[in-house]
Amino acid sequence: MTPHLQLIRSEAATAEGQRDLTPAMLELIDKEGWFKLLVPQRLGGQALPLPDVVRLEEDLACADGSLGWVVTLCSGAGWFSGFLPNKFDELLKNPHLCIAGSGSPTGAATPTTDGYQVTGSWAYASGIRHATAYTANCLITEDGQQQTKAFLFLPGEIEIRDDWNAMGMIASGSHGFFANKTTIPANRAFSIDPSAATDADPLYQYPFLQLAESTLAANIAGMGAHFLECCAEIFQQKARPEPIAQLQSARANLAATRAEFYRALDNSWTNPSPRAFDAVSRSSHTLAATTRTWVDKLYPYAGLGAARIHTPINQVWRDLHTAAQHPLLVFTPPQ
């Protein structure tokens, strides 16, 4: 484990205790530019190839589920900067840029003479207390047609609800937020579609669905790898053959599933096609489901000690099962 990942792992319990990422974690994220992994390079971002981003996010989630999740969700929202008008370049060049938001269309936008009036309530905006801007989806009815549009909000235009109270991912700070009759200029409504990209990097031609599925699945895989580390330590102490055999089977099966996931992801990046993207969806769901299955199969072997809240194995078990509730990974993708 690299020094960066060791630092994250060493801060995980403190972060959970204070229900937020620690100053040391946030300083590291800022220094490494992890919130800007998917921001265009012309805006000071890294715009890394997606397979590189996914592998990094898996490592971060293995170090700590909450940090990995916040980096994944906020850098994912940062990807939207590749679809925003150049008018907002100065806002997006902020070296401390962090965009948080929600993909659920639980807001309503009413067209006005020069923009929209937005009212809505959105849930689960991971990392929102560290955000410098926010995004949210709204339903709009124009010319008798209903559609969904994404909106960019600035500080002061939304209010945060202190309502994140899940059993796991506690330090992710995934609070909700709301807006009430907020006036948004027309140029802060944008579409997420390759044809609407305002940056030429191939990253913004990749479909959002598979970008989201692959990054979330990698988080589940990273937490699963951490869980197996915890099991190995406990099972060695118990020295019983059945748990050790099951752990070996889990390692082999998950290694094969993970390899197939990255084959599909890498191929979709170098040879993009509808068929390649469908393979990413299938392998992402398979990786998440297989990880959950093995974690639940191994957990009882860890004994009552694993039920103690303030233990690494209990924290990663709670984090994984909270993250795995994300609807993108629950429902089987169409064949």
**Is 103-194 in the same CATH topology as 3-82?**
no
Q: Is 35 helix (H, G, I), strand (E, B) or coil?
A: helix
User: In sequence order, what are the beta bridge partners of 137?
Assistant: 150
Residue 318 tokens read as: 């709670």
Question: Which DSSP symbol is given to 122?
Answer: E
Listing DSSP states for 172-205 in one string gives: G--EEEEEEEEEEEGGGEE--SGGG-SS-SGGGG
Distance between CA atoms of 212 and 199, rounded to whole angstroms?
19
The pLDDT of residue 292: 97
Mean pLDDT of all residues in the chain?
95
Right CATH for 3-82 from 1.10.540.10, 3.30.430.20, 3.40.50.720, 2.30.30.90: 1.10.540.10
The pair of three-digit structure tokens given for residue 208, joined into one six-digit string: 């959002």
Architecture of domain 206-330: Up-down Bundle (1.20)
Q: Which CATH number fits domain 103-194: 3.40.640.10, 3.40.140.10, 3.40.50.300, 2.40.110.10?
A: 2.40.110.10
Q: Which amino acid appears at position 12 of this protein?
A: A
Render pLDDT for 274-324 as a digit per residue (tens, 0 to 9).
Answer: 999 999 999 999 999 999 999 999 999 999 999 999 999 999 999 999 999
Residue 309 vs residues 13, 176, 257: alpha-carbon distances, Å: 11, 25, 30
DSSP alpha helix (H) spans, 168-311: 208-238, 241-270, 274-298
Phi, psi of 76 (to 5 degrees): -65, -40
Q: Answer whether 231's CB lies under 8 Å from 313's CB.
A: yes
At 263 the pLDDT is 98
What pLDDT, in 10s, does the model give residues 58-86? Answer: 999 999 999 999 999 999 999 999 999 88
Per-residue pLDDT of the chain (335 residues; tens, 9 = 90+): 899 999 999 999 999 999 999 999 999 999 999 999 999 999 999 999 999 999 999 999 999 999 999 999 999 999 999 999 888 888 899 999 999 999 999 999 999 998 999 999 999 999 999 999 999 999 998 777 889 999 999 999 999 999 999 999 999 999 999 999 999 999 999 999 999 999 999 999 999 999 999 999 999 999 999 999 999 999 998 778 999 999 999 999 999 999 999 999 999 999 999 999 999 999 999 999 999 999 999 999 999 999 999 999 999 999 999 999 999 988 776 66
Query: For the chain, what's the residue count?
Result: 335
The residue behind tokens 């940056």 is: 199
207 exposure class (CB count in 10 Å sphere: 0-12, 13-18, 19+): middle
The domains of the chain are located at 3-82, 103-194, 206-330
